[in-house]
Chains A and B, each alone.
Chain A
Amino acid sequence: KAGVTQTPRYLIKTRGQQVTLSCSPISGHRSVSWYQQTPGQGLQFLFEYFSETQRNKGNFPGRFSGRQFSNSRSEMNVSTLELGDSALYLCASSSPGSGRLTDTQYFGPGTRLTVL
């Protein structure tokens, strides 16, 4: 199976702009989670989507939003970009199998966002 794919891999934006990142999960996976990775704060959970519904949300401002489509692909959007939004944004997918609510998450390569 192909792994989690994320596009674009690199992105440069300026303050005040908005950006949309895309994630295609592993085939058959219905849960997609997003994380932000920075040298200062480490890996932080943004939100999770499952069957097109946001199931969990982290402690990020409303400028960070996401959505999931019927084919489980997900996008996240950051509006009014700030310098501090420069980070590696990781997407992870998981399968709901075995009746569990939680399962192993498989990560994509990430999108490196630089805000100037």
Chain B
Amino acid sequence: AQSVSQHNHHVILSEAASLELGCNYSYGGTVNLFWYVQYPGQHLQLLLKYFSGDPLVKGIKGFEAEFIKSKFSFNLRKPSVQWSDTAEYFCAVNAGGGGNKLTFGTGTQLKVEL
């Protein structure tokens, strides 16, 4: 069975700092990759996704992620975080088999301080 690892469970940054959240998955076949964000009191929202093509994908609010197949990684980045980026971030993989069945990482709680 596939699994998804998010290495950082809690991250605290100051505004304007750069962000990189790690995500690794275990599956050798074709994958679809996602980053979702859950702001306090809100539901899960899609940040960005990778299906195929350019491994560097750009999402909403200045976020981007790079798919590195050889490393089974899909790390999330943002050059300069804002206080409003405080949220929980989830990496998710849809791996083979057809249909929509996401395997999620455990999540990273990001706190951005003013």
Whether B40 is near chain A, meaning CB under 8 Å from some CB there, is: no
Nearest-neighbor residue (CB-CB) of B90 within chain A: A43
Q: How large is the interface on A (under 10, 10 to 19, 20 to 34, 35 or more residues)?
A: 20 to 34
Check A110 against B99 for contact (C-beta < 8 Å): no
Tell me the smallest distance from the CB of A92 to a CB of chain B, in Å: 7
* Interface residues of chain A: helix, strand, loop or mixed (majority): strand
The 8 A CB mask of B90-109 against A (1 = contact, 0 = none) is 10101001111111111100
Q: Which of B19-27, B41-49, B60-68, B70-78 contacts A (4 or more CB under 8 A)?
A: B41-49
Check A102 against B98 for contact (C-beta < 8 Å): yes
Check A43 against B104 for contact (C-beta < 8 Å): yes
Q: Kindly identify which residue among A44, A92, A108 contacts B100, using a CB–CB cutoff of 8 Å.
A: A92
Whether B89 is near chain A, meaning CB under 8 Å from some CB there, is: no
Distance, CA A106 to CA B92, complexed state (A) = 13
Enumerate chain B residues within 8 angstroms of A94, measured Cβ to Cβ. Answer: 100
Whether B80 is near chain A, meaning CB under 8 Å from some CB there, is: no
Tell me the smallest distance from the CB of B98 to a CB of chain A, in Å: 4
Check A55 against B99 for contact (C-beta < 8 Å): yes
Known: A102-B94, A106-B46. A56 touches B106 (CB 8 A): no
Q: Kindly identify which residue among B90, B92, B100 contacts A56, using a CB–CB cutoff of 8 Å.
A: B100
Known: A43-B90, A106-B46. A33 touches B106 (CB 8 A): no
Distance, CA A56 to CA B92, complexed state (A) = 16
Tell me the smallest distance from the CB of B102 to a CB of chain A, in Å: 6
Known A55-B100, A101-B98; 9 more pairs at CB < 8 Å: A31-B99, A42-B104, A45-B101, A48-B99, A55-B99, A90-B43, A90-B44, A100-B51, A110-B43
B: residues with CB less than 8 A from A are 32, 34, 36, 42-46, 49, 51, 90, 92, 94, 97-107
A: residues with CB less than 8 A from B are 31, 33, 35, 42-45, 48, 50, 55-56, 58, 90, 92, 94, 100-110
